[in-house]
Structure 1
Amino acid sequence: MRRRAASAACIALLLLAGGAMSACSASVDIEAPGKELMDQAHQAANEALVAAATTGLQALQATGAVTEDAVRDALEKAGAAEVETRVVGDSLLFGAEVSGGCVYGSVGASGTVSIDLGGVNAHGGCIREE
């Protein structure tokens, strides 16, 4: 829906201005993941969820209990919804819906937890490629 609104705005701008396609293409680039796709109000509102999820995921790592089900449970307990997981190499990737976008990241076998907020991916979901 956001893409349609941005596309409609670009078409209207093009009709009024008679060109300037490059300005529209830059503002409609929602294929790339990143924080710019989640407004600051939603980022701030989701910081407590990120903190709780980070704590939960780090606790899983400390006990050696990192499984797809355990990661899903930790993220849902923190407040995320529609959690997706996938194992890639020695990392477990995750993505989940939150207010205004997605929380996504990975839990690595080397003891790292990566977690961030942003917009949906190119396929409309929240899980990212590593």
Structure 2
Amino acid sequence: MSNQESRLQQACIKWVRYQYPDLIIYAIPNGGKRNAVTGAILKAEGVLAGVADLFVAKATPHHHGLYIEVKTAKGRQADSQRAFEEAVTREGYRYELCRSFEQFVTIIRTYLQPTANSQQPPQ
């Protein structure tokens, strides 16, 4: 994760913790530089390439939970991230790509409004 993506994600988490203190949202720290030993240990523990940056552990009438991938305006999803998106959406989770703080706010507010959460899981 780039420093710009990290700053965006930090601002998003700060906002959501203030606005929705009871919402369970957490980071999945898959990225970052690690030495070979640490990388091997994490892989053995179950780290999976492509997993989104954030997870909202709240089911809605249409989804089991929400994964959010944080990217800069120019950032691109890796092949492993696209594969993860496809896999989790098939399983009934919602997946969003977030490129700005304003977009994050919209994603969260829309997801938490059951009537506005009209995106159906795949059949």
TM-score clears 0.5: no
Q: Which has the higher helix share?
A: 1
Q: Where is the strand percentage greater, Structure 1 or Structure 2?
A: 1
TM-score (norm 1): 0.26
Rg larger in structure: 1
Q: TM-score if structure 2 supplies the norm length?
A: 0.27
